Chains A and B, each alone.
Chain A
Amino acid sequence: MGLSEFVERVEGRRRTVVEYSPADSSVFSERLAVRNADVVHRSLPDAGSGGFVVVRRDGEFRGALPLTSVERALASPGGSARDRDEAAFQDFMDLFDETVFASYDRGRMLATAREIEDRAWRVGQGTLVAGFQSAAALGEQADLYETLGGRDGLDVHVYVAADAADAPDVDRVTVHAEPAPELGDFWVLAFDAGGDDANKCALVGEERTDGEFYGFWTYDPDLVDEIVAYLRDTY
């Protein structure tokens, strides 16, 4: 068992996205191609109400959304929550509760991580676990994590790929220092929202080449719980 097995498992879950629209072809095939979804287009006569997308996972209907909502939700993928239509994004997340990415750079990873950290702060209860690939990486985020740890009801644990002697102390945060290769290779972050399924989220990315991450982010509550438990039990 390891973090790479979480990545393999999520990669194996395929979604089918069927776009029904009066257009000749799908507007999403390219944009969703990097995600773990197969996009199919089926034509509709124009009845005035616009197109819609149907999402199925393992053959089961998961939901349908108007095309316009999906477009608004995708307006700023991985970007700041402030730029986005929050209601459309929530609906979108109900359908695409996880996304596999093939090459996120540090900026993109950081933006996704910020979203999880912001959520932990807003919810203000539960456990936030975060991996740091080096003592220096934790040092750079120490202020932020100290702030998060100071929030009543938020239990913050960080896992740093370093010897205990090299790991910085962070007030109000439990620092677990382990010179484990996995912690050095993966960027991992998970928030269990104290049992509130709607707010659980996690990010797991493996740095396969320097500065390029391969992995997923997820809002699947069971998967988030497993990632939190894995880190807590292993390190």
Chain B
Amino acid sequence: MTDAPADPDLLFRALSHVRRRYVLFYLRDRDATSLDELADVVAGWTTADTDALTTPRRRERVLIDLDHVHLPMLADAGLVAYDRDAGEVTRREVPDAVDRLLDVALAVERTLTASADTGECPQET
């Protein structure tokens, strides 16, 4: 299926923030998830290369950020469907070229993260 719009500006902007990328990466392995789970995943994952404990406060901030900023942007880019009332996030079918781009983005992330010692998220408590 190639029903999703794929405005290149929206697509590349979608990839320009770590929290949005990790939402997309998490959805590489599954078709749907919830806002609640994405908050756990994005908060935990973006600090996984540090020694930091992710506190409930930090996780709450990630949740609000996903809800208000990142998931609407990903929906605008045609990459996910976000049912805000139900808190459900579903991966949308995308053109093959976009699918390959997401694979490449993951590979780039893996390479650069593995070679960098600094975390992308500042430590918050």
Contacts and interface: CB of A to CB of B under 8 A. Distances in A.
Interface of A: 18, 20, 43-54, 60-69, 87-88, 91, 94-95
B109 to A, nearest CB: 5
Contacts, number: 84
Nearest to B102: A45
B41 interface: yes
A46 B43 CA distance: 16
Nearest to B24: A45
A162 B31 CA distance: 65
B40 A48 contact: no
A187 B89 CA distance: 50
Nearest to A43: B29
Contacts of B41: 20, 44, 54
B110 A50 contact: no
Nearest to B59: A61
Contacts of A87: 51
Interface in B41-57: 41, 43-56
Given A45-B25, A47-B109, A48-B110, A61 B46 contact: no
A61 B49 contact: no
B45 A20 contact: yes
Contacts of A52: 44-45, 47-48, 54
Interface size of B as a range:
20 to 34
Given A43-B29, A45-B106, A64-B43, A51 B48 contact: yes
18 contacts: A44-B26, A45-B25, A45-B106, A46-B106, A47-B22, A48-B109, A49-B48, A49-B113, A50-B48, A52-B47, A61-B56, A64-B59, A65-B54, A66-B48, A69-B51, A69-B53, A91-B53, A95-B53
B50 A47 contact: no
Nearest to B55: A63
Nearest to B49: A49
Contacts of A69: 51, 53
A49 B45 contact: yes
B86 to A, nearest CB: 18
Most chain A CB within 10 A, of B28, B54, B106, is at: B54
A95 B56 CA distance: 11
A201 B79 CA distance: 49
B44 to A, nearest CB: 3
B51 A88 contact: yes
B49 A62 contact: no
A66 B114 contact: no
A88 B50 CA distance: 11
Contact of A64 (B28, B44, B51): B44
Given A69-B51, A91-B53, A94-B53, A47 B44 contact: no
Contact of B48 (A18, A67, A95): A67
A186 B110 CA distance: 52
A53 B47 CA distance: 11
A63 B55 CA distance: 5
A69 B53 CA distance: 9
B16 interface: no
Interface string B76-111: 000000000000000000000000000000100111
A109 to B, nearest CB: 29
